[in-house]
Amino acid sequence: MSVNFEELDYQQTELGELVLRRRRLVSLKGADVFEIKLGDSFLMSSLFTEVEVALARLALSELHADRLEVVVGGLGLGYTARAALEHPAVKSVVVIEALAAVIDWHRRGLVPLGKQLTADPRCRVVKGDFFKLATTFFDPENPGKRFHAILLDIDHSPRSLLHQRHRTFYEAEGLRQVAGQLRPGGVFAMWSDDPPDEEFLEALADAFVDARAHIVSFHNPLMDCQSASTVYVARTEA
């Protein structure tokens, strides 16, 4: 393969073909861009990380306690987890990731943040299905433990899902279950690639005492235009 394109890994998973690749973009002064594809869909690119970072920052800005304990649903390229760890009050981050290959990429240093995250003693990656664990407990080492914040970045949106079995999570009952894993005054936040969804906001309002949608805009250097995603933030009763 040429230096401008490299397929770093390919895995067949229960969700489809999973590919990690690196591209060198001459149009961006030779910058290396790491991309994750699942089937025909792009899951994440290191070229667009503003919303992943905003997910952590918007959620944690709602909290004023010390020694915050955080769950991140979906490891991806690690930008949400790193943003959470950069918050000065964060004591620990448990990352839930269903795909063993993604965890392996970080441990092997195939992705830019891999070595940084795996070397941080506050960060622990758990292989598991976030949506199943939402009905039980997220930390297998501490059953029943409740968290200050739960950050979710897995499906494209509440309507555009990687698997149809995730659908019930985005209904009021599923959201009430995840709310039960938060401490009083805790925060649930979620990324969506779609504009704010009023029906989903109503479901959040049924499960939490407060729910809002933030539109996060960012520059798309490939198309030289502004793009936008949504970050939902909801709080439990203090």
Q: Tens digits of per-residue pLDDT, 30-82?
A: 689 999 999 888 899 999 999 999 999 999 999 999 999 999 999 999 999 99
Q: Which domain, by its residues, includes 126?
A: 48-235
Runs of H (alpha helix) within 8-113 = 50-60, 79-86, 100-108
Residue/partner pairs of 36-44 with CB below 8 Å, 24 or more apart: 36/76, 36/77, 36/102, 38/13, 38/162, 39/15, 41/156, 43/76, 44/76, 44/77
Place of tokens 């793009």: 227
- 140 located within any domain: yes
- 18 located within any domain: no
- 15 located within any domain: no
Identify the pLDDT of residue 41. Answer: 86
Identify the pLDDT of residue 59. Answer: 98
The residues, ordered by sequence, that sit 6+ positions from 71 with a Cβ below 8 Å of its Cβ are 93, 94, 95, 96, 138, 139, 147, 149, 150, 151, 181
- 118 located within any domain: yes
The CA distance from 95 to 81, in Å, is 7
- 19 located within any domain: no
The residues, ordered by sequence, that sit 6+ positions from 198 with a Cβ below 8 Å of its Cβ are none
- 137 located within any domain: yes
The residues, ordered by sequence, that sit 6+ positions from 132 with a Cβ below 8 Å of its Cβ are none
Over residues 184-200, mean pLDDT: 97
pTM of the model: 0.94
Over residues 212-224, mean pLDDT: 86
> Which band of pLDDT confidence, cut at 50, 70 and 90, is reported for residue 27?
low
> Which band of pLDDT confidence, cut at 50, 70 and 90, is reported for residue 185?
very high
Rg (CA), the chain: 17
Name the domain count of the chain: 1
Query: What percent of the chain is modeled with pLDDT above 90?
Result: 84
The CA distance from 71 to 211, in Å, is 19
Q: Tens digits of per-residue pLDDT, 88-142?
A: 999 999 999 999 999 999 999 999 999 999 999 999 999 999 999 999 999 988 9
Over residues 16-28, mean pLDDT: 86
Letter string b/e over residues 41-68, b meaning 16 or more CB atoms within 10 A of that residue's CB: eebbbbbbbebbbbbbbbbbebbeeeeb
Which CATH number belongs to the domain containing residue 111 in this structure? Answer: 3.40.50.150
> Which band of pLDDT confidence, cut at 50, 70 and 90, is reported for residue 1?
very low
Identify the pLDDT of residue 219. Answer: 81
- 30 located within any domain: no
- 32 located within any domain: no
Q: Considering the chain, what is the average pLDDT of its residues?
A: 94
